Structure 1
Amino acid sequence: MNSKPHMKWSIADLHCDVLCKMQLNPQVDFSHPSLDVTRERLLEGHVNLQTFAIYISQVLGTPRFEHVIRQVELFRQHMISPSVGLKPLLWKEDLEERKDTSVGHLEGNEIKQHQGSPWALLSLEGVEALEGNPFYAELCYALGIRLIGLTWNYANWAADGIMEQRGGGLTRKGHELVKRCNELGLLLDVSHLSVQGFWEVLEEAAQPPIASHSNAFAVCPHPRNLRDEQIRALIARNGRIGLTFVTMFLKEQGTVTAEDLLPHIEHICSLGGERHLMFGSDFDGIEHHVQGLEHPGKYPGFAELLLKHYPEELVKGWLGGHALEYLQTNLPSKMSS
Structure 2
Amino acid sequence: MNTPIFDMHCDLLSYLSNVAGANAFNKDDIGCAIPWLLDGGVRTQVTAIYTDVNEGSMKLASKQADIFVELLKQDSRELALCDSIFLNNWEKEPTLALLASIENAAGLGNENAEWKSVTEQLESILEKVNRLAYISLTHHTENRFGGGNYTKGIGLKKDGQKLLDYLSGRKIPIDLSHTSDLLAEGILTHLEKERLNVPVIASHSNFRVIWDHPRNLTDEFTQEIIHRKGILGVNFLRAFLDTENPERLFDHILHGFEIGAGEQICFGADFFYTKNFGDPSRIPFYFPLAENASKYQSILTTLSQNLNQDQLERLAYKNALHFYQNLWN
Structures share fold, TM-score greater than 0.5: yes
Q: How does 1:222-261 map to 2 (within 5 A)?
A: 222-251=213-242, 253-254=243-244, 256-257=245-246, 259-261=247-249
* C-alpha distance in structure 1 between counterparts of 2:300 and 2:72, whole Å: 25
**For 1:110-189, what aligned pairs fall within 5 Å after superposition?**
116-131=94-109, 132=113, 133=115, 134-135=118-119, 136-144=121-129, 145-146=131-132, 147-165=134-152, 167-189=153-175
Match runs of 1:1-337 below 5 Å:
7-32=1-26, 33-57=28-52, 62-83=55-76, 85-91=78-84, 93-96=85-88, 99=89, 104-105=90-91, 116-131=94-109, 132=113, 133=115, 134-135=118-119, 136-144=121-129, 145-146=131-132, 147-165=134-152, 167-203=153-189, 204=191, 206-251=197-242, 253-254=243-244, 256-257=245-246, 259-284=247-272, 288-331=285-328
State the AA in 2 paired with 1:170: L
Q: More displaced, 77-86 or 315-324? A: 77-86
**Matched-pair contact (CA < 8 Å) for 2:241–2:249:** yes
Q: Contact 1:80 / 1:88 at 8 angstroms: preserved in 2?
A: no
Question: In the TM superposition, what is the alpha-carbon distance from 1:285 to its structure 2 partner?
Answer: 5.4
In the superposition, relative to structure 1, how do residues 84 and 200 fare at CA in structure 2: closer, same or farther (>3 Å)?
A: farther
* Alpha carbons 2:206, 2:217 under 8 Å: kept: yes
Unaligned runs of 5+ in 1: 1-6, 106-111
1:239-267 CA distance string (max 9 Å, x none):
1110101111111x42x42x321211232
8 Å CA contact retained: 1:162, 1:194? yes
Q: Which runs of 4+ in 1 moved over 6 A?
A: none
2:279 alignment partner in structure 1: none
**Conserved in 2, the CA contact under 8 Å of 1:29 and 1:78?**
no
Structure 2-normalised TM-score?
A: 0.87
CA contact (8 A) 1:148 1:189 kept: yes
Q: Paired residues, what number?
A: 305
1:98-124 Cα offsets, whole Å, 9 max, x none, are x2xxxx33xxxxxx66xx211101001
Conserved? CA contact 2:52–2:104, under 8 Å: no
What is the distance in 2 between the residues matched to 1:141 and 1:182?
15
Q: CA deviation at 1:83?
A: 4.8
Identity across the alignment (%): 26
Q: Look up the match of 1:3.
A: none
More helix by share: 2
Q: Are 1:137 and 1:177, in contact at CA under 8 Å, matched by a contact in 2? A: no
Distance 1:84 1:15 in 2: 23
The change in CA–CA distance for 1:184 and 1:143 in structure 2 (over 3 A counts) is farther
- The alpha-carbon deviation at position 80 of structure 1 amounts to 4.5
The answer for the alignment partner of 1:109 in structure 2 is: none
For the aligned residue pairs, the C-alpha RMSD in angstroms reads: 1.9
